[in-house]
Amino acid sequence: MNAAPMPEPDICDRARLAKDARFDGLFFIAVRSTGIYCRPICPAPQPKRQNIHYYPTAAAAAADGYRPCLRCRPELSPSAWKPAGEATVERALTLIANGALQDESIETLAQRVGVSDRQLRRVFLERTGATPIAVHTTRRLLLAKQLLTETSLPVTQVALAAGFNSLRRFNAAFLAGCGMPPTAIRRTAAAAKTPHLSLRLAYRPPFDFATMLAFLAKRSIPGIERIGADSYERVIGPAHASTWIRVTAAADKAELKLDVSDTDPRAIPDIVRRVRHVFDLDADLAAVHAVFAQDAQLAQAIERRPGLRVPGGWDGFELAVRAVLGQQVSVAGATTLARRLVDAYGERREPAREGLDRVFPTPQALAEAPLETIGLPKSRASTLRALAAAAIDGRIDFSPGQRLDEFVERFVALPGIGPWTAQYVAMRALGHPDAFPAGDLVLQQVLGHPGRLSEKATDARSQAWRPWRAYSVLHLWYLSNDRAEKAA
């Protein structure tokens, strides 16, 4: 049973023969004669058509006994784990990427997405060609394969990073899934001998990295992050104390390069997931643009910035605090308040890298803090304390895979939190693609130009852009900026 949303076989044939990078991650090629599965861009000689079978995901190919190619490296394929068109599967995939099946059962995962475990297995087979457990296993093995290929981490640390507490079990699983022991991969790989970890993170073009950095730089907090014209740096904490990351763009590939200082190998999957979230690397902009192309304003915006993505936040609580600080003030004003907050309540660390020596305040640090002393109005200080208390007791969390309406309902129940703040946090902290703050003044003005739409009319206008409305927000904000600059 395989009704997975991937291109038709004749389209797969043409994409494979052309080695078209636009199809990378949309399907995988399994070769019966070799027992190997590849990406559409694999540089190996083309096999005979009768020896080929197409799969929607790497996990589906692995479940049928195929091994990942050593040349094209399926672990680098972008968006390989997010087939479109089924909300339950997408939520479950997000939770799996966040480690849901590492310590939880399939039954618990099914409960979290609101279906039975039998139904979850069924829809996974239909949409991904594999069971949730097979997806989880393949993800772990491909991460291990990447670490063995690109880093000099000892095999024992690679096993820990991939979620194996037993080296024996890791060796057996890797041999079964990749057709060779981990040490064989290490012997064939030219892993860089660097004092830090360096990984390649692929995405599907286009990607406007410079605009993404400019957005983040405008909101950066000294001591926590440093953003240049071509790089993003951040100290990670408090769980990853004295660890820093640096993200840059590859010169000639659709990839970002992630450098991480010495850290617990078990933290690597979480670090990779957060970086992919911050830079929205799993987005398929072709699907977004296909929806937006029918709207004249959005079509114009896409023409100006085809690689625009939704910037995420490193930590959900941090992003939520920043959003509250930004209520009814400018971006510059909110950033000033955030800097004061970090100076007053952010824990200082030994510099992980020059200039990076602070971590954002924890909920415990803010729950009872006299926040009025940094210049906050009493009402906003009370909102932040209530937010911190809700994060501590679990009434609010920022884990991925939540339903948008349920998160918004819980969030607006807090004092001082309105729909705009809830939708903004859902957009950037949860990475929800359909979040849309219809009460945003800029959106109302740019959509009603030269007048202004009501909140109800703005929301009605956005219905045609679902489920990608978060991307429309960014495009319309930048379109408004362009108009303002032109008028000036």
CA distance 480 to 488: 12
For 52, the enclosing helix (H) or strand (E) is strand 52-55
Tell me the one-letter amino acid at 166: S
Distance (Å) of CA 290 to CA 81, 306, 466: 21, 12, 11
CA distance 101 to 219: 34
| Nearest Cα residue to 264 out of 149, 161, 148 | 161
Q: Residue with structure tokens 């490296």?
A: 73
Asked if 464 and 434 touch (Cβ cutoff 8 Å), the reply is no
The one catalytic residue in 12, 38, 42, 69 is 38
Asked if 187 and 147 touch (Cβ cutoff 8 Å), the reply is no
Give the SS3 label for residue 307.
coil
CA distance 360 to 23: 39
CA distance 214 to 81: 28
Q: Residue with structure tokens 């076989």?
A: 9
Concerning whether 12 is annotated as a catalytic residue, the answer is no
| Nearest Cα residue to 436 out of 410, 454, 462, 460 | 462
Six-digit token string for 50: 């009768």
Give the SS3 label for residue 358.
strand
Q: How many residues are recorded in the chain? A: 488
The one catalytic residue in 284, 295, 434, 440 is 440
CA distance 209 to 126: 35
CA distance 171 to 184: 11
CA distance 419 to 406: 12
Asked if 78 and 25 touch (Cβ cutoff 8 Å), the reply is yes
Concerning whether 440 is annotated as a catalytic residue, the answer is yes
Instruction: List the catalytic residues.
Output: 38, 440
